[in-house]
């Protein structure tokens, strides 16, 4: 069918407009997301967020990559993120290669001299440096804080002693509890636009090095720097009313509500110590604790910069 000269402009307009409608709509939706994020970006500008990296997400290069990109984005838009990381699986592999049988006491790795050397090499060396290097590859600026070179460690502590049911002390070997955090160094780095990357090890005042539980280390850092947020990356999407149903996620909990859920048995097993650590941290000045599924693509950005979020936030008091 031929088209007259008068009809040609109209036909061209239709041809050009129709294919662009989906593209234009997608662009508008992206703009809406940015507008939604703008309020949160302004609210959290210059605020510190401590992110605890560990667990299965450390073993998934793709998921870890998305999280590190999220952290680079957070710093780019004015937040001051700090990473505290573990590396249990990598340490276990290295111990197996060295034919060192792992020992766990009350959920904590018993650390002897041979194990500590592996922890220092793998956790404070290989894993720590690799995280910082990967962030640099995403155009971020990261500072590994470990014992290599000039020893720019920022965690200091003492040997940790647990007690059994009879009140007797349990020796965990070279395992530590953080008693002091070098806040000045962390403040200087974050104000300079760098992301501190901290392995979960500490040093005593006499120079002895100790293995530290990563959740404990992240909590100590968040308290010391007066963090706005502490984010725990988990293998579940947060606190659920039914632990087997992801759709029963509770988006916001107060401290009192969380304690009630523990008493009612709705929070149980491995989630109890994590939530109790959150409550202790809230009592010491950190404003919000987030528990999110680190395997979800861009879970950090979705939790912090959207109205709904994708995990559970625990707060000291209701937000009025």
Could you report the per-residue pLDDT of 105-132, keeping only the tens digit for each? Answer: 877 778 999 999 999 999 999 999 999 9
Q: Quickly count: other Cβ atoms within 10 Å of residue 156's Cβ.
A: 17
pLDDT at 27 over 70: yes
Structure tokens at 183: 């806040």
pLDDT at 319 over 60: no
The residue-averaged pLDDT of 74-100 equals 94
pLDDT at 65 over 60: yes
The residue-averaged pLDDT of 165-169 equals 81
Sort residue 99 into left (φ over 0), alpha (ψ -120 to 50) or beta: left
Q: Is the pTM of this model over 0.75?
A: yes
pLDDT at 154 over 90: yes
**Residue 18: pLDDT band by 50, 70, 90 thresholds?**
low
**Residue 182: pLDDT band by 50, 70, 90 thresholds?**
very high
Residues 6 or more apart whose Cβ sits within 8 Å of residue 103: 109, 110
The residue-averaged pLDDT of 233-262 equals 88
């Amino acid at each position: 069918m031929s088209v007259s000269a008068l009809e040609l402009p109209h036909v061209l307009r239709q041809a050009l407009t129709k294919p662009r409608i989906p593209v234009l709509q997608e662009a508008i939706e992206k703009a809406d997301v940015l507008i939604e994020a703008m309020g949160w970006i302004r609210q959290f500008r210059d605020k510190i967020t401590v992110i605890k990296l560990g667990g299965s997400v450390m073993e998934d290069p793709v998921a870890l990559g998305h999280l590190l990109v999220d952290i680079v984005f957070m710093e780019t838009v004015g937040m001051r993120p700090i990473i505290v990381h573990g590396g249990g699986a990598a340490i276990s592999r290295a111990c197996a290669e060295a034919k060192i049988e792992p020992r766990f006491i009350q959920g904590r790795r018993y650390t002897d001299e041979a194990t500590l050397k592996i922890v220092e090499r793998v956790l404070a060396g290989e894993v720590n440096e690799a995280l910082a290097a990967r962030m640099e590859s995403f155009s971020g600026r990261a500072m590994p804080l470990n014992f290599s070179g000039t020893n720019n460690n920022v965690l200091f502590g003492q040997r940790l002693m647990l007690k059994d049911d009879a009140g007797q002390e349990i020796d965990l070997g070279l395992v530590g509890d953080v008693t002091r955090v070098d806040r000045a160094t962390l403040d200087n780095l974050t104000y300079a636009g760098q992301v501190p990357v901290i392995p979960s090890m500490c040093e005593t005042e006499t120079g002895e090095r100790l293995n530290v539980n990563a959740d404990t280390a992240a909590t100590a850092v968040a308290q010391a720097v007066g963090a706005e947020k502490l984010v725990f990356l988990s293998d579940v999407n947060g606190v659920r009313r039914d632990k087997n149903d992801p759709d029963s996620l509770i988006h916001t909990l107060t401290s009192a509500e969380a304690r009630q859920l523990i008493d009612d048995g709705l929070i149980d097993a491995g989630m109890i110590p994590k939530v109790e650590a959150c409550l202790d941290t809230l009592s010491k000045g950190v404003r919000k604790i987030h528990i999110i599924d680190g395997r979800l693509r861009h879970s950090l950005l979705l939790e912090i910069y959207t109205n709904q979020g994708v995990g559970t936030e625990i707060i000291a008091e209701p937000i009025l």
